[in-house]
Amino acid sequence: MVFLKKIVRIIDTLSKYSGLSARWLAWLLVLVGAYDTIARHFFNAPTIWAYETMTMAGGALYALGWSYVYLKDSHVRVDLFYRLLSDRKKAFMDVISSLIFFFPLMIVLVWVSTKWAIRAWRINEIMISTYWYPPAGPFRTAVALGAFLLLLQGIARFIRDLYYVIRGEPFD
């Protein structure tokens, strides 16, 4: 039990810091977007790096935020019936739903995104929206990492819910 608690806490911490670090990409987006606009319009000096810097910053912001959002339970649910359930029944529903809708999906996503991240490094894949041609490896890795952290957070939630279903009291 102590061991489980420790694992869950570590996962929570990972999710938290993933979100809290990735959030600064939001500022990067604002500054790069505004810089490029001003440089182009007022100084006729457009950058070749702003476009893909922004798309990659945005993508990393979302992907690294997934686990944080799941930690905060902010992924949208249709709670028409769910809302009517007691907390323990909600936990029970989530245990079953996780087994069907979460784990198979996330295992696939982690696997396939890792495969493509490795491929990107192996073949020196580049981004080609502009002729800046930055490497795609780092971004593909960020997506795989985001998926992996989300899977971990799902495991932590699952442990919490299962504990609640069995014991009838909150895990922490």
CA angle in degrees (0–180, nearest 5) for 69-2-65: 10
CB of 17 to other proteins, least distance (A): 12
Phi-psi group of 169: left, alpha or beta (phi > 0 → left; psi -120 to 50 → alpha; rest → beta): beta
Binding residues for other proteins restricted to 137-156, rule: CB under 8 A: 139-140, 143
Closest to other proteins by CB, 11 vs 106, is 106
* Residues sharing a CB contact under 8 Å with residue 21, sequence separation 6 or more, in sequence order: 64
Selected range binding other proteins among 7-15, 44-52, 159-167, rule: CB under 8 A = 44-52
Residue 60 CB, nearest distance to other proteins (Å)?
Answer: 8
Residue closer to other proteins by CB (options 98, 155) is 98
Site for other proteins, residues 93 to 132, rule: CB under 8 A = 93-94, 96-98, 100-102, 104-105, 108-109, 111-113, 116, 123, 125-131
User: Which residues does 44 contact at the CB level (< 8 Å), separation at least 6?
Assistant: none
Query: What six digits make up the tokens of 126?
Result: 């580049």
Q: Tell me which residues in 3-22 interact with other proteins (CB under 8 A).
A: 19-20, 22
Q: Tell whether residue 165 is a contact of other proteins (CB under 8 A).
A: no
CB of 3 to other proteins, least distance (A): 27
Residue 150: name the closest of 91, 72, 58, 54 by CA.
72
- Count of other CB atoms within 10 angstroms of residue 134: 16
Residue 11 vs 19, nearer CB to other proteins: 19
